[in-house]
Amino acid sequence: MWALRGLRQGILTTRWPRHPDEYAAAARGPAAVLRDAHTSGLTELDAAGLCPTAAISLAGPGNVRVDQGACIQCGRCVARYPEIFGWSAGVRSATLSRAQLTMPPAESPAALAELSAGLRQRTRALQRSVHLRHVDAGSDGSEEWEILALLNPVYDIHRLGIFLTASPRHADILLVTGAGAHGMAEPLRETYEAMPHPKVVIAVGTDACGGGLISPSYATAGGIGAIVPVDVWLPGSPPTPFAILSAILLGLGRLPESGLRAAAAGRER
């Protein structure tokens, strides 16, 4: 009965990343400064009070910087100054270093290439079959839904040779969500130690990258960067499944880093 019903539906799975997917292209990432924006109208006072996580700062007259690692996608900046701020593309928001998350990027291309090469060297053996292990270090629950969504027939990561595993001893990639609650620091470290080399750690979500709106708090560490060494940073609150998939593929070296960090795509809609 179930099998027949399933067959009748046809193929629902996206063919991303081989072929473009319009939902993936439209998926919303963190806020970013628009490419040809006129930022001179923004005063320092405006910039300071605009973002609840202080992700927006003015590095000089007209030089607006957005720290995407702190953007919780509340949309206030986009609503208030739609001519300056817009949404970046979700599938291109993952980076290999924390400094890369500030827009415009501050890391030099040489350092970036080195990081990228190092990562690719480490994950040489992981090309065809990769196992993910997830640890919740104090998330709000939505990132777990988005990670689990990767298993549904629409995304179906099994077709890419990526699987979820229950034991960290079998895992290659560690997905960590959450702002780094102190109670989970030790379990997270133990999980990291339990994984065999080579391993890749992906900080999934703005909470994991920089603490999000939860930090500063007496109970969290402001992101997981202080607890385990992170290889891939993925902002978003929560990041869409396509964004998570792009971060995994970036961590495996299957997506080129260059070209990911273009300035935000055009406005929304």
Least distance from another protein to the Cβ atom of residue 75, Å: 5
| Burial (CB count within 10 angstroms: exposed 0-12, middle 13-18, buried 19+), residue 96 | buried
Q: Are 247 and 17 in contact (CB under 8 A)?
A: no
Least distance from another protein to the Cβ atom of residue 268, Å: 7
Least distance from another protein to the Cβ atom of residue 200, Å: 17
73/95 with CB nearer another protein: 73
114/268 with CB nearer another protein: 268
111/226 with CB nearer another protein: 226
Q: Fill in the DSSP letter of residue 65.
A: E
Q: Fill in the DSSP letter of residue 95.
A: B
* Helix (H/G/I), strand (E/B), else coil: 117: helix
49/109 with CB nearer another protein: 49
Strands laid side by side in the 56-60 sheet: 56-60, 63-67, 102-103
Helices (H) and strands (E) in the chain, counts: 9, 10
| Distances from the Cα of 9 to the Cα of 30, 152, 155, angstroms | 34, 14, 15
Q: Fill in the DSSP letter of residue 77.
A: H
| Distances from the Cα of 46 to the Cα of 55, 103, 120, 218, angstroms | 13, 18, 42, 28
11/110 with CB nearer another protein: 11
Least distance from another protein to the Cβ atom of residue 139, Å: 7
Least distance from another protein to the Cβ atom of residue 154, Å: 5
Least distance from another protein to the Cβ atom of residue 166, Å: 3
Residues in touch with another protein (CB under 8 A):
1-3, 5-6, 9, 12, 23, 28, 52, 72-75, 79, 134-149, 151-154, 164, 166-169, 178-179, 181-184, 186-188, 190-191, 193-194, 196, 212-214, 216-220, 237-238, 240, 268
58/149 with CB nearer another protein: 149
